[in-house]
Amino acid sequence: MTTFPDHALATALTLVTDLFDRLGAATADPPGITRASYGEGEVIAQGLLSEVARGLGMEVTTDAVGTLRMVLPGRDRSLPAVTMGSHLDSVPHGGNFDGAAGVIMGLGIAAALHAAGRAPHRDLLVLGIRAEEMCWFPAHYLGSRALFGLLPKDAPDTLRRVDTGRTLAEHMAAEGLDPAPIRAGRALLDPARIACFIEPHIEQGPVLVEEGLPVAVVSGIRGSLRYPQASAHGAHAHAGAVPRRHRRDAAMATVALIAALDARWSRLEASGADLVCTTGILATDPALHTSTKIPGVVRFSLDIRSQDAALLAELDDWLAAEAARIGAARGVTFDFGPPTHAAPALMDPGLRALLVRSAANAGVKAREMASGAGHDSATFAGLGIPTVMLFLRNEHGSHNPDEALDMADVGAGLAVLVPAVAELLG
Ligand SMILES: [Zn+2]
């Protein structure tokens, strides 16, 4: 692996630090920053990044669905591009780094190549993707799916932005963008023209802070087994008058099911499985419940995530069997309701190995870990594009104004990514 001159990495870090500062100031919305999907903050971010990209000799365009494309031209334009990037939108009053870090670091890599006087063999394409945060439009990976023609064809007219009530088509028209490719299911970027996709992103949990590591190579994006509208049905009855054998207590049955899941999760985790389980909703009916009544109905949710698709399928079967067993023992029927599952997206083994090797070469301590949150990388991996993510340590979690990305960790990320991307570019 080629080593990069220190001055080129220092130039890249200076550019990246300055861009984060300017972007944060330009999209400030105290507390924090706001960059709405198909809204003002994204447009401001695109303008700022475009100007810097042009200064690095990059070709800058925006496609029909608003994706910002910044290309550092290679010597052989016929080859598929090494592609990087992430999303430029944020949650309302969010932090400055979720999403933007992946685009800005792509420009940092272009700056390092520029400063080192390296002319890449193939194109480096840096994407500023639209609309990844689900809080604005109720659709996952909206911008990256639009880019590849993967959205439902009626999406421009049926998806409404939560805060304005206006449709996606209306928001796109306001920016001079064209929803026609979405309505036609037409891809604006051919996956065959992408050699690989690399998405740097802040870690949104506490693992890297806890372990004192600046970066992690992501092994996969967890898929999910989700039942957001599950319920248990027994019979309402008097809390004092009914003996145990006659009770059909929906709350006790639900708690038994959740406790069984928790015990199984604990055993699976001890054996090395990747798994997280959450019951975010657990409630008796406020119109009917009271402390002196056996609850006949409980509503609850299950959100079970793993990067192991076989484990998720096995747990789905186990849940059905366990619900039947507990239900029979307690006179309660479980109804899991409609599922909203998502398949796991595994990162490319070759790219993972490249980043691990690059980290070791650069003397940067790193680990591998699964991503619990969804990312645009799942869209790229789902299309068969070799994909990898690099997580950067970030304090105080994400989707809040207190996201904290230390520029020293950005420097460590650049030390890993610059030589690795240079090797991929040839
Ligand atoms: Zn993000």
Query: Nearest to residue 189, comparing CAs of 346, 348, 69, 105?
Result: 69
44-57: average pLDDT: 98
| Cα–ligand 1 centroid distance for 87 (angstroms) | 7
Contacts of 159-165 with C-beta under 8 Å, sequence gap 24+, read 161/36, 161/37, 161/38, 161/39, 161/136, 161/137, 162/135, 162/136, 162/137, 162/138, 163/36, 163/92, 163/136
| Cα–ligand 1 centroid distance for 66 (angstroms) | 18
How many CA within 13 A on the CB side of residue 172?
A: 27
Domains by residue range for the chain, with CATH = 6-221+344-425 (3.40.630.10), 223-335 (3.30.70.360)
Backbone angles phi, psi at 264, to 5 degrees: -70, -40
For 95-145, the pLDDT digits (tens) are 999 999 999 999 999 999 999 998 899 999 999 999 999 889 988 899 999
Per-residue DSSP letter, 81: E
Is the predicted pLDDT of residue 215 greater than 90, yes or no? yes
Contacts of 9-15 with C-beta under 8 Å, sequence gap 24+, read 9/112, 9/411, 9/414, 9/415, 9/418, 11/111, 11/112, 11/115, 12/108, 12/109, 12/111, 12/112, 12/115, 12/414, 12/418, 13/108, 13/407, 13/410, 13/411, 13/414, 15/52, 15/107, 15/108, 15/111
**pLDDT value at residue 247:** 97
176-188: average pLDDT: 97
* Tokens at 48, concatenated: 């700022």
Q: Calculate the CA 66 to chain-centre distance.
A: 19
CA torsion through residues 368, 370, 376, 381, sign? positive
* Tokens at 329, concatenated: 């023992």
Is the predicted pLDDT of residue 3 greater than 80, yes or no? no
Q: Calculate the CA 111 to chain-centre distance.
A: 26
**pLDDT value at residue 256:** 98
Is the predicted pLDDT of residue 232 greater than 80, yes or no? yes
Query: Nearest to residue 115, comparing CAs of 249, 6, 264?
Result: 6
pTM (predicted TM-score):
0.88
Query: Nearest to residue 87, comparing CAs of 126, 59, 139?
Result: 126
Question: Distance (Å, rounded) from C-alpha 109 to C-alpha 342?
Answer: 32
Question: Distance (Å, rounded) from C-alpha 192 to C-alpha 205?
Answer: 33
| Cα–ligand 1 centroid distance for 305 (angstroms) | 18
| Cα–ligand 1 centroid distance for 198 (angstroms) | 14
Question: Distance (Å, rounded) from C-alpha 199 to C-alpha 365?
Answer: 19
| Cα–ligand 1 centroid distance for 347 (angstroms) | 17
Question: What is the total residue count of the chain?
Answer: 426
| Cα–ligand 1 centroid distance for 350 (angstroms) | 24
**pLDDT value at residue 248:** 98
| Cα–ligand 1 centroid distance for 332 (angstroms) | 41
Residue found by looking up tokens 């080593």 in the block:
3
| Cα–ligand 1 centroid distance for 398 (angstroms) | 9
Question: Distance (Å, rounded) from C-alpha 169 to C-alpha 334?
Answer: 40
For 141-162, the pLDDT digits (tens) are 999 999 999 999 999 999 999 9
Strand partners, 68: 62, 128
Question: Distance (Å, rounded) from C-alpha 358 to C-alpha 364?
Answer: 8
| Cα–ligand 1 centroid distance for 99 (angstroms) | 4
* Tokens at 19, concatenated: 């861009």
For 382-400, the pLDDT digits (tens) are 999 999 999 999 998 888 8
Confidence of residue 51 (pLDDT cuts 50, 70, 90): very high
| Cα–ligand 1 centroid distance for 201 (angstroms) | 7
Confidence of residue 381 (pLDDT cuts 50, 70, 90): very high
CB 389 within 8 A of CB 377: yes
231-256: average pLDDT: 97
Question: Distance (Å, rounded) from C-alpha 426 to C-alpha 424?
Answer: 5
415-420: average pLDDT: 97
185-214: average pLDDT: 97
CB 415 within 8 A of CB 362: yes
| Cα–ligand 1 centroid distance for 245 (angstroms) | 51
| Cα–ligand 1 centroid distance for 238 (angstroms) | 49
| Cα–ligand 1 centroid distance for 253 (angstroms) | 37
Question: Distance (Å, rounded) from C-alpha 213 to C-alpha 272?
Answer: 21
- Look over the chain and give the mean of its residue pLDDT values, rounded to a whole number: 96
For 113-122, the pLDDT digits (tens) are 999 998 899 9
Question: Distance (Å, rounded) from C-alpha 103 to C-alpha 87?
Answer: 7
Query: Nearest to residue 376, comparing CAs of 207, 249, 212, 200?
Result: 200
| Cα–ligand 1 centroid distance for 33 (angstroms) | 14
| Cα–ligand 1 centroid distance for 392 (angstroms) | 12
Q: Calculate the CA 333 to chain-centre distance.
A: 35
Question: Distance (Å, rounded) from C-alpha 416 to C-alpha 143?
Answer: 27
The type of residue at 39 is: G
Confidence of residue 80 (pLDDT cuts 50, 70, 90): very high
